[in-house]
Amino acid sequence: MTDRPSTPQPAPEPQPAATTSDSPGLGDSLNRFFAMLQRDTSGALSLLVVLVVGVLLSYILWVPFAQPTEIVNDIVGDKNCAAKQPGTGEMRTCAATVAAWKMVGPLGIGVAVFVLRKHLAKWITKLSASLHPGARPLVGPLLATLLFLLVWAGSHASTGGQTGIIPQKAFPAIIGVYTYVVVRYGPALQQKMPTFFEKRERLPVIVRVLITLAVPTLVSLLITNQDRVSDTAQKEQFVVLIGLTLAYLMLSPKGGDIAGAAAERLSMSPAPQPTAAPAAWSQPAPKTPGAST
């Protein structure tokens, strides 16, 4: 019996890969989340996001953000009052000197931020334009959190484990919350207190600046007038909150448009002036000789 050649069998068709159209990726999920934030006209959800993300960033970045200030402080040296007698004027003077000395690093960081403000403004504008509209209101508050963290972590590198009104490591998130509140609700807040802000505008700017600086300083001196200062974290945070409140009440732009004023200050570009009408528009057309009047 002759064997017939076997008929080749067709290769099995490859099975299509399981489609992922029904299981959206991270980008789609984020877009839907940001769209939900955009639909929330109250702004409460965005405020919650600023708080939660701000706390996470503060804890995660505490150690690396403390390094620049610590490096500066190591260069300029350290001071302490261990040899001073508690309760004496010499001790209080020394304590004030040490506190000022420890601010050298944070102030240096603050100066660097001010010098780079134009680059920051351009970066913020570029980043915001690339984001979903629902995510754009988060950029400013979270950036404020990071900038404050850069200073706060450096000046509290050895006391980050303390707790005041809230834990020290979470406190920078309050700056983000404050930024979001004054930007989002600033105009409405001013409309609720028109008499106060009208009277405030009568004060010279320099007077308002002095009030903003002097009141927290006086409160700080009063609550720390002790031989051994207790509850330092709570008192520090309390003074910062007073300063933030006064900064809004005394220095916020009239009308409450914080975002517009901040953009102008960061870029330091003068506001566009209205174009003057050409002289030919403002002068009457010359009369043609012999024309009737």
The sign of the dihedral angle between the CA atoms of 160, 165, 170, 172 is negative
Q: Report pLDDT for 49.
A: 94
pLDDT in tens, 217-276: 888 878 777 666 677 888 888 988 888 888 888 888 876 555 555 555 544 444 444 444
Q: Report pLDDT for 15.
A: 53
Q: Report pLDDT for 140.
A: 87
Q: What are phi and psi of 167, to 5 degrees?
A: -60, 145
Q: Report pLDDT for 292.
A: 44
Residues 6+ apart with CB under 8 A from 76: 101, 104, 105
Q: Report pLDDT for 155.
A: 79
Which segments of the chain have a pLDDT < 50? 16-21, 266-293
Which region holds residue 268: left if phi is over 0, alpha if psi is between -120 and 50, else beta? left
Q: Report pLDDT for 108.
A: 61
Domain definitions of the chain by residue range: 43-267
**C-alpha distances in Å from residue 146, one per residue of 4, 34, 56, 275:** 80, 21, 11, 40
